[in-house]
Amino acid sequence: MSESTEVEARFGVDGTVTVLSFTWHGRKRPVVSHGRQWDADDGRHYLVMTTGEQIVELVLAPQGGRWSIAETHGRPLSA
């Protein structure tokens, strides 16, 4: 799965990115916990946990700064 999404994030002066929320099927999902981050060919990946312990892998593309949902882990996100 790779679906574009809107993300609210805080960008630190040291380059750190803290994802605060993202949108899934028109619903804003708050991020309650952050997991690991890594770089790949398609961009910077962020594992985040939203309410209901749903884990989502978000990707920030290096060109254009577009966010997408790469994958969900565990329980599926409900619309």
The reported pLDDT for the residue numbered 19 is 96
pTM of the model: 0.84
Q: Which residues contact 28 (CB under 8 A, 6 or more apart)?
A: 8, 21, 22
The reported pLDDT for the residue numbered 51 is 87
Positions of the chain with pLDDT under 50? 79
**Helix, strand and coil percent figures for the chain, each rounded to 5:** 5, 65, 30
The reported pLDDT for the residue numbered 17 is 92
3: left (phi over 0), alpha (psi -120 to 50) or beta: beta
- CB neighbourhood size of 16 (10 A): 9
